[in-house]
């Protein structure tokens, strides 16, 4: 039997693969193959990469920019009604995810403009879930457990530090003359000691016996729960938020419950939760809150039955009507939007205040997007080498202008080109015809 090592060696030799495989692309002036293997966006793409891959269609760029400007800078800045929504509509493979990531990049870039007091907080959700509570849970999950706890802590101890009566009650638990924190500072409520909620709680817990520890936790719970009830207008939400913080003083975990959206206690509480999320985020200096929802066809044209769809859209409509201190951007197929207009015309009207249409690639946009990707792996240039125009046109036609198929095919063609193309040759129509892989859509 042929030694297994030789199988790999034979492939390497046959394909001309070098120890540094990316060196193969240097003959085309490229440092690597820049096209996505599967033709889809990488959700972990860097801001630099996303900024290089702006939509090639000027109408799409215009639609995104107008939505952002009109939602960030409302006509009446004194109004609490900030809600504005848009839909990115396009068939599968047309680039909806990349367009959402582009919108996210622009929104977050406002934080760097010091002349304008705008700092949007943007959450991207790739799965809307089967119930609205799951969507809300995904939003909390995207904020992150440690961030969310820290934000809640900021709200709680801002109130505690201003309440002398409560501070005096807590100080009774500190042994006289004993320094709970390093640095010689005897006052536990010094702002330096309130930066980290874990450190604050642990400082008390390590010097208290079981009886005193239980009494200390009871005092903390009583006061913080009252703060959260006043702040978030719901005893149930306040209880969950307190339990989330109190994981660090020995009580039950609640993060999984909040992020799964599976608690019956939280049913019909979506308005209070989104309101609480907005307040928590604003406590950190953010001025606006955006929710970007991908794959919304999973709700109206996917796996949900009629009853589940009705419940989801009814709750989402109620949420939008009752809490309007946020903005949304949904991505879905044309069929999904048509279904939504049939199932719930009022909700469709509310979330489609703007419609950003994605179209198939034409020869001009195909050439431009090819150039943009090639520039990721070379010094910026206007040419499409090693492709030529006949190759781009042929590939655009064979892919039916579907962006995902086009980009995936570019990756495959470039892989074959480093093996098959001789000096002075191009990825032309003939080469595309030979190597294009047909797939069912």
pLDDT digits (tens, 9 = 90+) for 269-324: 889 999 999 998 998 899 999 999 999 999 988 788 889 999 999 999 999 999 99
Measured CA to CA, the distance from residue 297 to residue 67 in angstroms comes to 21
Phi-psi map region of 261: left, alpha, beta (phi>0 left; psi -120 to 50 alpha): left
Terminal alpha carbon distance of the chain: 42
Structure tokens at 77: 């800045």
Q: Is residue 124 part of a domain?
A: no
Check if the beta carbon of residue 327 is closer than 8 Å to that of residue 289: yes
Cis peptide upstream of residue 386 (ω within 30 degrees of 0) = yes
Structure tokens at 321: 């009507």
Q: Do 161 and 248 have their domain in common?
A: yes
Task: Among 331, 357, 383, give the residue marking a domain's end.
Answer: 357
Of these ranges, 68-72, 176-180, 264-268, the one predicted with the greatest mean pLDDT is 68-72
Parallel, antiparallel, or unpaired for β 288-293 and 327-332? parallel
Report pLDDT for 9: 63
Q: What is the DSSP string of 90-137?
A: --TTSSHHHHHHHHHHHHHHGGG-TTS---EEEEEES---SSHHHHHH
For residue 408, pLDDT over 70 is answered with yes
Q: Is residue 52 part of a domain?
A: no
Q: Do 381 and 352 have their domain in common?
A: no
Task: Give tens-digit pLDDT for 225-280.
Answer: 999 999 999 999 999 898 888 765 444 478 888 888 777 777 788 899 999 999 98
Q: Is residue 98 part of a domain?
A: yes
Report pLDDT for 61: 95
Going across the sheet that includes 288-293, the strands are 120-125, 288-293, 327-332, 85-89, 354-357
Spell out a b/e string for 101-114, using b for 16 or more CB atoms within 10 Å of the CB, else e.
bbbbbbbeebbeee
For residue 40, pLDDT over 50 is answered with yes
Domain of residue 291, CATH code: 3.40.50.300
Cβ-Cβ contacts under 8 Å for 399 (sequence gap 6 or more): 361, 405, 406, 409
Q: Is residue 13 part of a domain?
A: no
Q: Do 154 and 240 have their domain in common?
A: yes
- State the burial class of residue 277 (Cβ atoms within 10 Å of its Cβ: 0-12, 13-18, 19+): buried
Total domains in the fold of the chain: 3
Q: Do 160 and 267 have their domain in common?
A: yes
Task: Among 357, 380, 410, give the residue marking a domain's end.
Answer: 357
Q: Do 245 and 185 have their domain in common?
A: yes
Q: Do 351 and 374 have their domain in common?
A: no
Q: Do 219 and 307 have their domain in common?
A: no
Confidence of residue 340 (pLDDT cuts 50, 70, 90): very high
Report pLDDT for 250: 42
For residue 114, pLDDT over 90 is answered with no
For residue 214, pLDDT over 80 is answered with yes
Task: Among 227, 247, 271, give the residue marking a domain's end.
Answer: 271
Q: Do 315 and 348 have their domain in common?
A: yes
Check if the beta carbon of residue 95 is closer than 8 Å to that of residue 358: yes
Q: Which of 24, 247, 266 is nearest to 136 (CA)?
A: 266
pTM listed for this prediction: 0.85
Higher pLDDT, 42 or 271: 271
Count Cβ atoms below 10 Å from residue 86 Cβ, excluding itself. 24
Cβ-Cβ contacts under 8 Å for 393 (sequence gap 6 or more): 363, 366, 429
Measured CA to CA, the distance from residue 431 to residue 230 in angstroms comes to 68
Q: Which of 324, 325, 347, 274 is nearest to 87 (CA)?
A: 347
Average pLDDT over residues 132-154: 89
Q: Do 106 and 178 have their domain in common?
A: no
Q: Is residue 317 part of a domain?
A: yes
Q: Is residue 17 part of a domain?
A: no
Confidence of residue 39 (pLDDT cuts 50, 70, 90): confident
Q: Do 166 and 252 have their domain in common?
A: yes
Structure tokens at 328: 């949304």
Q: Do 230 and 317 have their domain in common?
A: no
Q: What helix, strand, coil percent values describe the chain, rounded to 5? A: 60, 5, 35
Q: What is the mean pLDDT of the chain?
A: 87
Cβ-Cβ contacts under 8 Å for 210 (sequence gap 6 or more): none
- Give φ, ψ of 355 to 5 degrees: -125, 120
Structure tokens at 31: 């440092």
Confidence of residue 396 (pLDDT cuts 50, 70, 90): very high
Q: Is residue 261 part of a domain?
A: yes
Q: Do 248 and 157 have their domain in common?
A: yes
Q: Is residue 9 part of a domain?
A: no
Q: What is the DSSP letter of 20?
A: S
Domain that holds residue 325: 58-119+287-357
Q: What is the DSSP string of 374-427?
A: HGGGSS--S--TTB-HHHHHHHHHHTTT-HHHHHHHHHHHHHHHHHHPPTT--B
Report pLDDT for 252: 46
């Amino acid at each position: 039997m042929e030694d297994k090592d030789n199988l790999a060696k034979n492939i390497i030799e046959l394909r001309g693969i070098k120890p540094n495989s990316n060196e193969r692309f240097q003959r085309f002036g490229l440092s690597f193959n820049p096209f996505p293997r599967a033709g889809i966006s990488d959700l972990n793409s860097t801001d630099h990469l996303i900024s290089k891959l702006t939509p090639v269609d000027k109408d799409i760029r215009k639609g995104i920019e107008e939505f952002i400007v009109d939602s960030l800078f409302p006509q009446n800045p004194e109004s609490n009604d900030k809600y504005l929504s848009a839909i990115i509509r396009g068939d599968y493979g047309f680039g909806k995810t990349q367009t959402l990531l582009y919108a996210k990049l622009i929104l977050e870039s406002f934080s760097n403009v010091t002349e304008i007091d705008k700092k949007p907080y943007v959450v991207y959700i790739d799965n809307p879930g089967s119930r609205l509570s799951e969507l809300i849970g995904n939003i909390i999950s995207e904020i992150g457990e440690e961030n969310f706890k820290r934000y809640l802590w900021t709200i709680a101890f801002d109130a505690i530090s201003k309440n002398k009566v409560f501070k005096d009650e807590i100080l009774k638990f500190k042994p006289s003359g004993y320094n709970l924190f390093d640095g010689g500072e005897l006052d536990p409520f010094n702002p330096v000691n309130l930066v980290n909620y874990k450190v604050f709680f642990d400082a008390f817990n390590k010097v208290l016996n079981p009886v005193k520890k239980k009494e200390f936790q009871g005092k903390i719970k009583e006061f913080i729960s009252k703060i959260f009830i006043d702040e978030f207008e719901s005893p149930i939400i306040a209880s969950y938020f307190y339990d989330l913080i109190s994981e660090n003083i020995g009580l039950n975990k609640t993060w999984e419950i909040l992020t799964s959206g599976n608690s019956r206690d939280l049913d019909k509480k979506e308005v209070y939760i989104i309101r609480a999320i907005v307040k928590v985020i604003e406590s950190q200096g953010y001025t606006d809150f955006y929710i970007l929802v991908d794959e919304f066809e999973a709700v109206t044209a996917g796996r949900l039955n009629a009853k589940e769809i009705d419940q989801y859209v009814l709750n989402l409509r109620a949420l939008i009507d009752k809490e309007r201190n946020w903005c949304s951007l949904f991505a879905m197929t044309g069929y999904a939007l048509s279904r939504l207009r049939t199932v719930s015309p009022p909700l469709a009207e509310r979330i489609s205040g703007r419609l950003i249409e994605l179209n198939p690639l034409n020869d001009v946009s195909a050439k431009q997007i090819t150039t943009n990707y090639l520039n990721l792996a070379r010094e910026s240039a206007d040419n499409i080498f090693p492709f030529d125009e006949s190759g781009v046109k042929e590939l655009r036609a064979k892919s039916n202008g579907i962006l995902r198929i086009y980009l995936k095919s570019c990756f495959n063609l470039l892989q074959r080109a480093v093996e098959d193309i001789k000096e002075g040759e191009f990825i032309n129509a003939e080469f595309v015809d030979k190597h294009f892989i047909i797939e069912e859509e």
